[in-house]
Structure 1
């Protein structure tokens, strides 16, 4: 038989509270009020309404791959250096170029 746990509004001793309800084969067997430790037999309670499922993370946790260490990319670092120099040049010269275009 399959066992599952669902969350329901439960009436017990004239109080309605959210509870974690344990089902075996589709039949409620026990419940536990959320925030308490003890379990109560399901015959002592009335199920009112099912609560929505708890939120599930959208992004699954990524497992870091144990890849072999890669070689450093020397050509990439040179490309970054040239790009930063070009960016500095554009920032320094953009004022006079803009004034010349005006």
Structure 2
């Protein structure tokens, strides 16, 4: 049986975010960098650490597939108008 921690996990379903949460904020950051979510980032960038801001837990820095680095603020970056663009995958 496949779980979210397997190396070859594929999403079973997808939906769009309806309201902003900390999870949606992090998904927004991963998707801005070109990944589905944290699981896909870990699969592609094997062994790469994900820097997060200590208090908020938001992603601080991500490396794109072309090795460009994205840096993110400790404050919210996903504005209300962008929330419905965030894809939420379930495994």
Question: TM-score normalised by the shorter chain: which range applies?
Answer: under 0.3
Larger RCO: 1 or 2 (CA < 8 Å, sep 6+): 2
Instruction: From the two aligned structures, give the one with the greater strand fraction.
Output: 1
